[in-house]
Structures are given as C-alpha cells and as structure tokens.
Structure 1
Amino acid sequence: AWNFFLNLAEKYGVAPESAMPETIHSNKTANMRTLLNQKLRREGWNIREMAAAGSSPKQMREYKLDVLKDVYRLLALCLGEPPTEFTWTYKDRDGKTHTLKTTPQEFYKSIVPADYGLESMVMIMNDPTREYYRVYEIENYRNCYEGVNWIYLNLPNEEMKAGALATIKDGEAVYASCDWRKGMVKPANSMTCDSYDYDSLFGMEFGMDKKARILTRFSASAHAMLIIACDTDENDKPTKWKFFNSWFDTGEKSTLTFTDEWFDGYIFRLALNRKYLSEKALKALETKHIMLPFWDYMN
C-alpha cells in the first residue's frame, strides 16, 4: 500500500541504487519473504507459549528484542545494510556534474516534492461493496508503529480515472495497485477482461462482477505499479493505459498495457493529489472515518 512507502520513507529516508545496490533478494523477494514469514510465525508462537507458561511482560519483551535482532540480520544478509550516509554524483539537466554528501533522510526530503505527503496526497480506493464518497480506515494496517494506517476515500471508477488522467497530463506518474494476475497475457505484456474465453471452452459460466469477486475473495489488490500513460479517444475518454513495473526488465519490457475495462474491474487503489479531486470528493474527506477491522477483505 502507498502508506507503507510513506511510513518507511518518512522515518528512514531513501537512497539511490548506487548507494544501496539491488541484490538477488531485493529483485526477487519470494524466498526471503517465505523465510521471514516462517521466522515471525515461529517466534510469535514462542511468545504465546511463554505467556501461557506464566512469563512476565518484561521477559517477553526481552525475548522479542532478541527476535528483532534476528530479523535485522536476515534482512541485512539478503538486502545489505542501509547506508547511514553516502556520496552521490549526478548530472543536472544542463549537463553539469554535482556531488552530494547526504543521509537517506536528507536525500528523501531533497528529491520528493513537498506536496507528496499526507497534507496533499489522498489514498483512493474503488470498493463497490461499500458506499462511495465515504472515508474508511483499516485498523492496524501499517508497517510502522508510529505510521499511518491505510485510510481510503472510496470513489467510483470514473472519478478515479479522471484524477489519474489529469495527473498523467501534468507529466506525473500515478501509484496504483491492482489484481495483476487476472487477464494477463505474458508474451504481449497486456491485460484485458476477455484475454481468454473459458466460458466457450468449457461450456459454462465463470463471470462475476467486481463486488462478487471481492466478497468471495477471488480478487483483491495484489501488486503495486505506476500508471505512466493513457490513450484516449476523440472525446478524451480513456481507452487503454500503461503500467511501469519494477519487476520486469528495462525499456519496453518493463511496461504493461491494460484496457479501460480492465481498469474498472481490477484496479483497486490510487494515490492522487487533492488538486485532481472533485469538490464532492474533497467534501467527503471531511467526514468521520469508518473504522474497519484488520481482517477486512480490503486489507
């Protein structure tokens, strides 16, 4: 979720790849995540056993701190230790070379626009199972204790697309998360709602609308990418969109196209600047948040 990036970047900062290079595990995280998940479940179980056996809160906290050392060790071995300070040399748009000695926190503040925080950016969701133009918050859905939860303004697809298109026209990319597994045609790097005709192949119906897919947990937000382009018709209505995906190779191989119909069915979340929202949406932001439990299907 976008708030996960914001929480980490606000607390720890960011660094260019030259200061903290990619590793096999940062590029392909599955094995690392499996081990980390197993380690956390193991130690969570041990702490529960300690509580059942009568251990004091102090003893359990001390044990937890030792576990966190192991977690840090695992991540450092897989990803490398984050730099506390680095020197970065770059060329500006005029071709002049500059050298910057900085920290990750200072670097984050220097490259991220001032209007990229919670004061300006809004987390948007298309959740057809709930009332539109209401704000929902998922309890404890964050990755830092002091960070912000996933708090989303629920909007219809048409308003989401209007905000995304306006952002792209201003030369900015749009954070978006989706169910990328549905309708993917890998050789073409494209997603459509009619990629495969399984109804005709098997002689039965498989179709469900977005609401039904969500409530049956058949579809959910599974991966975040950047929307970087949009094709429109003569009436300026979107016809297809383009993702940039950091998982893929560079160049055209790093992009995927998807139809406007696929946007409606499988895009779930956007992060948009307030200036691209309608008056109705802005007014909705002033309403009281509706708290949802951590296990909600929108988590």
Structure 2
Amino acid sequence: MARVEQDDSPRLEKSAYDLLSNLSFTDEDTAPEISLKSVKRWEEELLSEPKALYLMKKYKLDNFELSQQYLFFWDKVEKANFFLEQIIDTANEPVDSRVVAELLKAPINDGGQWDMVVNLVERYGVVPQKLYPDSYNAMNSRGVDVLVTSKLREFALQLRGLSAQGLSTHVVERAKGKMMNTIYGILVICFGPPPKPDERFTWEFRDKLGKFHSYPGLTPLSFFKDYVGYNAPAHFSLINDPRHEYGKLYTVYRLNNVAGGRPISYVNVDMETMKAAIIAMIKKDHPVFFGCDVGKFSDSKLGIMDTKLFDYSLAFNTELGLNKAERLIAGESAMTHAMTLNGVHIVDGQSVKWKVQNSWGEGNGENGWFVMTDEWMDEYCYQAVVSPDFVSKEIADVLKQEPIVLPLWDPMGALA
C-alpha cells in the first residue's frame, strides 16, 4: 500500500539504523516469500505486483497473483528472436566490432525495461498465476539462460556464415525460423507450454465473503484489457542522467526485446522533477517502479540504502570522490535492479526517506521491505516509470522529440 508520511518536526535521522523508526510496516506490508535463487522477475516488478493489488481490491480477493512465468516465457522467446534479427542485420560488420561483441555478450537475460514489458503485455496479455504457475526452472533460471545463450551464440555464427556465402534473405530467414523452433522447444521443456495469447480460459474464484465467481471465455489479451484494466502504453520512463542534457528524449541503439516493438524511450530530467512525479503518484496510491544501482552503500539484510552506511574515511583514510555523472562515465555505476516505491517520509515539505518493496523475500530487510534515504536516491536512482498525469505538459511533450541515440554499451542500456 502506498503511503506518504508527513512529519513537521525539525529533526532528521542521525544514523542509518534510525531510518526504520518512522516509516511504518504493517501486516498489509508482508512481501511474498521468494527464494533468493528466484528473484522476482523484472516483469513482476514493473507490472504484476501493483496490478495484483488492484484486482484484489476490485474483486474482494484475499490473495491473487499474476503469472510471472507467463511473461517470462514469452520474453525469452522474443529476446531470442530479436537477437537473431540483430545478428542478421549486422552480418556485414566484423564479428569483433563493438556492436556485434556487445550483442553476443548477453543474447538474453532476466532483466528488462519498461517499454519491453509494454511490448509483452500488448502482444501476449497476462494470466492468473494458477493458470500457468511457476515451475522449478522459472524459479532457478540460470541453467536455462546458460543453455539458451550457448545455442544463440552458436546460431549467430551460423547465420553470419550463411550471410557471408551471399545466400538470399529467404534462405537466411528460413534458417532462423528453424533455430527459433529449437529455442522454443527448449523453453517448453523447461517451463511447460504456455497459454497462447488468444487461448480461452475460465477465471474462477471465491471472494472474501465466500461468494463464487466464474468468468468464462477469457483470453490472456482480454484478461489484461478488461480485468486488469491498466493503460501500460501511456506510462513512460523518466531517467536522471547528469551526463546528458535534461529535457531531451533518449533511446539505446539495438536495445529491445520485440523486433519491431515499441522502442526504448527515456525522458531525461533532474532529480527534483523525478521525485515530484513519484510523490504525486504515491499520494494517489500508485506504487512506482524505479531502477537503481542497488549494490552501492546498501545492506540487504538490514534493508537499508544510505550513502552514510559505510565510513570509508574512518576505516581507510580515504573517500570515494566520484559524482553521479562521473560514476556513469567511468563504468562505476549503472541500473542493476528494479524495485517499487510504496511510501515516502516528508519533513518540512522535503522528502527524507523512501519505503521500497524489494523482491528478495522476507529474509531481507523488514519482511522484504527496504528503506532508502533521499541522499541515496539522488546518487543511485536512475529511472522511474510514471504516468503523464503526474508530470507537466512540458515534460510529457518531450516524448514527441526525435530521440538522441545512445550506444548499446551505454549504462542507460543496462537491463534492471
């Protein structure tokens, strides 16, 4: 549940351990128990949790989950196809060129960006967890990723070889189709066959009062459109990248999950603009997805993210001197993880600390909840997904600009 907590007293917290004292954690704030090996998928962080809560309220459910594995499966399929398409498109470039090398570095992974999840839900919809529950391999996906990555790299060299022989586009695409059949077969064996986007199912449940409900003839696409009722395409990513000009639209070269899908788009703003939009959404009870560098100045067991967590000057007689822009330039920082902002503590009109829902299970933080200082957010938060209803027209109109293209290896190309 999203919260804004006002505190008009002049006091500020003096230590990281004091951070837990004011932001409240209630029985409603129990995070799902998830194995550390099965960190909740980026699709879940970006979409499923807030929408599951919406469905629980709308239909008076005690509990409800959207299937993580459903979008996870189709994301793997689409990423594999996108990768092979990029390999064909770059066949004339040297295999050791920086672009091809970057493509080969990670053909697929478990991360993603907001525009990628929009591509998925518009093409595949969503389904209840009970219709396509998580399998062992979805909860322990590293082995699957290794296998699929190896096959994709093998296929990449084969496609480049066919292109080097001067074979027709039809021949190359037919070969790619057979390769995709192999990848699809691997995924089906590992995860089980998923529902098709137009496959019909019946959603049945009992509400809190014990009343039985049955909704037949649904499809994953209609379930998302008519029951989840979330306007995903309208939402977009604000980023804070001080290396580049604010008020500009950015994208990343050859970064996507769906060939021909919605491109990755970032509106670059200062942190005050980003935080104002987030606070406005939280006040309306809208949890906010954000991307950050979670490993910096954080303690996962305590659930604290604070720039004062470690005193390097006391221990080593030196300090870390890079600012946010310099860390991005030097490769010292990037978006490494996606989480959800659910609350903010405000003192004298200024945000002081933030309530964060992480996905690492109840054994981390306060039953899975973290606390983030405002200073940490300024330094290590890079992205927030917002609705245009919570930003100025000037900011929303940036989306109409021709995007500035960042290279594939740019830190803003990291998949949270």
Q: TM over 0.5, yes or no?
A: yes
Counterparts in 2 of 1:205-220, with a 5 A limit?
205-220=319-334
SS at match of 2:355: strand
Q: CA deviation at 1:42?
A: 1.6
What does residue 96 of structure 1 align with?
Answer: 211
Assess, with a 3 A threshold, how the Cα gap between structure 1 residues 151 and 48 changes in structure 2: closer, same or farther: same
- Structure 1 residue 273: Cα displacement: 0.8
How far apart are the structure 1 equivalents of 2:150 and 2:381? 30
Give the structure 2 partner of residue 244 of structure 1.
Answer: 357
User: Using the alignment, how far apart are the partners of 2:206 and 2:352 within structure 1?
Assistant: 37
Equivalent residues of 2:114, 2:236 under 8 A apart: no
Q: Distance in 1 between matches of 2:369 and 2:183?
A: 33
CA–CA separation in structure 1 for the residues paired with 2:266 and 2:327: 20
Judging changes above 3 Å, is the alpha-carbon distance between structure 1 residues 281 and 105 closer, same or farther for their aligned structure 2 residues? same
Distance 1:294 1:61 in 2: 24
2:226 to 110, 125, 132: 110
- Distance in 2, matches of 1:260 and 1:166, equals 16
Stretch of structure 1 that moved more, 5-14 or 279-288: 279-288
**Any idea what the Cα deviations from partners look like across 1:154-194, whole Å, max 9, x if unmatched?**
01111111111111111111111111121221221221112
Change (3 A) 1:47 1:98: same
Deviation at 1:108, TM superposition (A): 0.9
Per-residue deviation, residues 230-255 of structure 1 (Å, max 9, x unmatched): 1221x232111122233424995332
Q: CA RMSD in A?
A: 2.2
Aligned pairs for 1:25-174 (under 5 A) are 25-83=137-195, 84-92=199-207, 96-101=211-216, 102-114=218-230, 116-118=231-233, 120-174=234-288
Tell whether the 8 Å contact from 1:27 to 1:247 is kept in structure 2 after alignment. Answer: no
Q: 1:125, CA displacement in angstroms?
A: 0.7
Moved more, 219-228 or 155-164: 219-228
| 1:48 aligned partner, one-letter code | R
Q: What is the number of equivalent residue pairs in this alignment?
A: 296
Q: Which has the higher contact order (CA 8 A, sep 6+)?
A: 2
Tell me the TM-score normalized by structure 1: 0.90
Question: 1: distance between equivalents of 2:399 and 2:167?
Answer: 45
Note if contact 1:174-1:270 (Cα within 8 Å) is conserved in structure 2: yes
Distance 1:145 1:151 in 2: 15
Q: What are the residue-to-residue correspondences of 1:9-28 with 2, within 5 Å?
A: 9-28=121-140
Contact 2:243 2:325 (8 Å CA) reproduced:
yes
Tell me, yes or no, if the aligned pair for 1:139 and 1:149 is still in contact at 8 Å: no
Partner Cα separation in structure 2 for residue 297 and residue 214 of structure 1: 6
Deviation at 1:109, TM superposition (A): 0.7
Unaligned runs of 5+ in 1: none
Checking the alignment, whether the CA contact within 8 Å between 2:335 and 2:411 is kept in structure 1 is no
- Sequence identity, in percent? 31
Which amino acid is the alignment partner of residue 240 of structure 1? K
Q: Tell me, in whole angstroms, the C-alpha distance in 2 between the residues paired with 1:194 and 1:29.
A: 35
- Give 1:267 shift: 1.2
Question: Secondary structure at the residue paired with 2:343?
Answer: strand
For 1:27 and 1:255, the matched residues in 2 are separated by 21
Q: Distance in 2 between matches of 1:259 and 1:16?
A: 35
Q: Matched residue of 1:187: which SS?
A: coil
Q: C-alpha distance in 2, partners of 1:92/1:8?
A: 29
TM-score by length of 2: 0.66
Matched with 1:6 is 118
Is the CA contact 1:179–1:220 (under 8 Å) kept in the aligned structure 2? yes
- CA-CA distance at 1:92 after TM superposition: 4.8
Partner amino acid, structure 2, of 1:113: G
Cα distance between partner residues in 2 of 1:168 and 1:90: 30
Identify which range, 194-203 or 3-12, moves more after superposition.
194-203
Give 1:145 shift: 1.4
More displaced 10-residue stretch of structure 1: 157-166 or 30-39:
30-39
1:3 maps to a residue whose letter is D
2:366 maps to 1:228: no
